[in-house]
Chain A
Amino acid sequence: MLQKLRENKSLQGTLLILPTLLWMISLLIVPLILSVITSFGRRDADGNVIYTFTLDNYLRLAGFTPAGFDDLYLQILWRSLTLAFQTTVLVILMAYPLAYFVARAPVKWRNTFLFLILVPLWTNFVIRIYAWIMILRTQGVLNGLLGWGAGLFGQPFKPFDFYPSSGAVLVGMVYEFLPFMILPIYTSLEKIDGSLYEAAADLGANAIKTLLRVTLPLSMPGIVAGTILVFIPVMGTFVVSDILGGRQVILVGNLIQRQFLDARDPAFGSASSIILMVLTLIVTIFYTRKFGFGEEIASA
């Protein structure tokens, strides 16, 4: 039998992939199918799911309730989309100069600079948000610094209420996901042959022209990969908005989480989750069709 296994390459491959397939099917495919089934059900008085086939949950998300049209959930979806878009744009603007700086640094320093980008990631997602509360709250570090600065000029100072607010949520999102943009952009910038810059300079291109015509196009794969790594988690998270928004900024993630905990309506929660997945898939497919799928995801 061992002899047979030795000769059968296809069987060897199947055996090697088998545990992965088992895991992916039971903890990814089956849960997704169950979510779809649950989303067509409804809840009973105790919060248990009754499995039927009703479109009520989806209609409710689209705003059609028995009491008339209500765009509450559409607003939540729109808010999540715009916040994810704003976060991604800000993150690209901040990540690009840093990635460029590291990619053009002397080789012996590059790993140290990269390491410095990763260290904040190794603290902890929740603790990092807590740190932002300490900075942004009314009696926090930022207001302390501003008050001190105002005092130097003899100006009166009234502390700002930075936290909780939707601005604080945006800052928190940018902070949490910035490293995921820096790394892929760095990877694609680092691959650019230095002689291309010299050629551009020899041909009379100035700094801005070189950036627009050489650097930017060649680093597009990195930006695409980074966008996928940032946009998707921002769409799905509920922790940042929950903590820094003081429960006022409700995103799809918060909506889903509350259906499973406070509201006890898993059917509606599952429908929201399916809509979230479809929405992110549509945006991702549209985006990657336009710009190509980033290979840099693998190297990030």
Chain B
Amino acid sequence: MSNRRSPLVIVSALLVYFFLYAPIVVLVVFAFNSSRTNIVFEGVVNQGPCGPFYWFCKLFDNNEVLNAAKNTLTIAFTSTVVSCIIGTMAALALQRYTFPVKTASEAALYIPIVIPEIVMGIGILVLFSALFTWINVTFGLTGDARFSLGLATVIVSHIAFSIPFVTLVVRARLHGFDKAVEEAAMDLGANEFVTFWRITLPIIFPGVLSGALLAFTLSLDDFIITFFTNGPGSTTLPIYVYGLLRRIITPEVNALSTVWILTVLIAVFISQRLESREV
């Protein structure tokens, strides 16, 4: 269709794209900076056996970073798997069944969307510190046996904020679902489990996959909830970078971001390929 105002729209769209990408380009370019303080770009680094990729090599020798990356991925992976299973179950329940607490459940699922994350974060912190103090005192736990914040507390909290988003996405997929297909399977002698496994799940799978992608992204990117629920030894990449911001930031952080962006791009590319094959 012809559009008379398109030059204006195109120019402003291009400007917004420029705004979105300028910081990303700066991040990547400065990963090759020869200046350690990384304030001014002083030229492309060429040092050691890695040459221009000097900071990338430094990065892979840095145990703190590697550990933070490992924690981030462990948390994101675990919370995605669990929240996908639980969230899909909830979507099925809300879309297919009537039961006593349905309205209350629907309302509860909206809470994480409509309250600021920090409110949830400090609430969970208050809960865990009260609970752990009580357990440690009651059972007389001392030293390393004491309960404290760590990977587990981060993971259960990430699951909590991911479930509502997974449920929303899967419900949207269930919405256009033709129940006749399931009934046909049952008529042909399949029981509930076979029907679910062979019919329902394959049909809603793209929805579950997008829910998983969303949950994974939310978990990788989360700062506030992780900030209040992590403990010593469970530092994630966002928390690690935040700590660095108070000191000198070497181009290692830029190298880290570059690797990160590339990894995510590849992961998304693969998942989109898989998804388009599913349909």
Contacts and interface: CB of A to CB of B under 8 A. Distances in A.
A14 B238 contact: no
A264 B87 CA distance: 36
Contact of B245 (A31, A102, A126, A284): A126
Interface residues of A, number: 90
Contacts of B260: 123-124, 127
Interface stretch (A55-63, A71-79, A150-158, A234-242): A234-242
Contact of B257 (A28, A124, A257): A124
A5 to B, nearest CB: 9
A232 to B, nearest CB: 6
A245 B169 CA distance: 36
B276 to A, nearest CB: 10
Nearest to A280: B116
Interface of B is mostly: helix
A198 interface: yes
A1 to B, nearest CB: 15
A132 B257 CA distance: 14
B228 A299 contact: no
Interface in A168-216: 175, 178-179, 194, 197-198, 207
A89 interface: no
A16 B92 contact: yes
Contact of A98 (B13, B111, B114, B169): B13
Contacts of A50: none
A134 B153 CA distance: 34
A17 B59 CA distance: 44
Interface string B106-133: 0011011111111110111111001000
A237 B118 contact: yes
A256 B3 contact: no
A130 B90 contact: no
A165 B224 CA distance: 22
B21 to A, nearest CB: 7
A100 interface: yes
Contact of B27 (A127, A137, A140, A235): A127
Contact of A132 (B4, B23, B126): B23
B97 A20 contact: no
A20 B87 contact: yes
A119 interface: yes
Given A130-B245, A269-B122, A198 B1 contact: yes
Contacts of A102: 13
A124 B253 CA distance: 12
A276 B9 contact: no
A251 B26 CA distance: 28
Interface of A is mostly: helix
Contacts of A280: 114-116
A6 interface: yes
B23 A126 contact: no
A87 to B, nearest CB: 14
A224 interface: no
B167 interface: yes
A270 interface: yes
A231 to B, nearest CB: 10
A105 B126 CA distance: 49
Contacts of A98: 12-13, 16-17
B160 A178 contact: no
Interface in A1-40: 6, 9-14, 16-17, 19-21, 23-32, 34-35, 38
A250 to B, nearest CB: 14
B147 interface: no
A123 B127 contact: no
Interface string A217-238: 0000000000010001101111
Given A9-B98, A21-B105, 7 more contacts: A16-B90, A122-B217, A126-B241, A131-B257, A198-B1, A236-B116, A236-B119
Interface of A: 6, 9-14, 16-17, 19-21, 23-32, 34-35, 38, 94-95, 97-98, 100-102, 104, 115-117, 119-128, 130-135, 137, 139-141, 144, 175, 178-179, 194, 197-198, 207, 228, 232-233, 235-239, 243, 253, 256-257, 260, 266, 269-270, 273-274, 276-277, 280-281, 284, 297-299
Ranked nearest first, the 9 interchain pairs of A and B with the lowest CB-CB distance are A236-B116, A13-B97, A31-B123, A131-B23, A101-B13, A16-B93, A13-B99, A97-B12, A27-B160
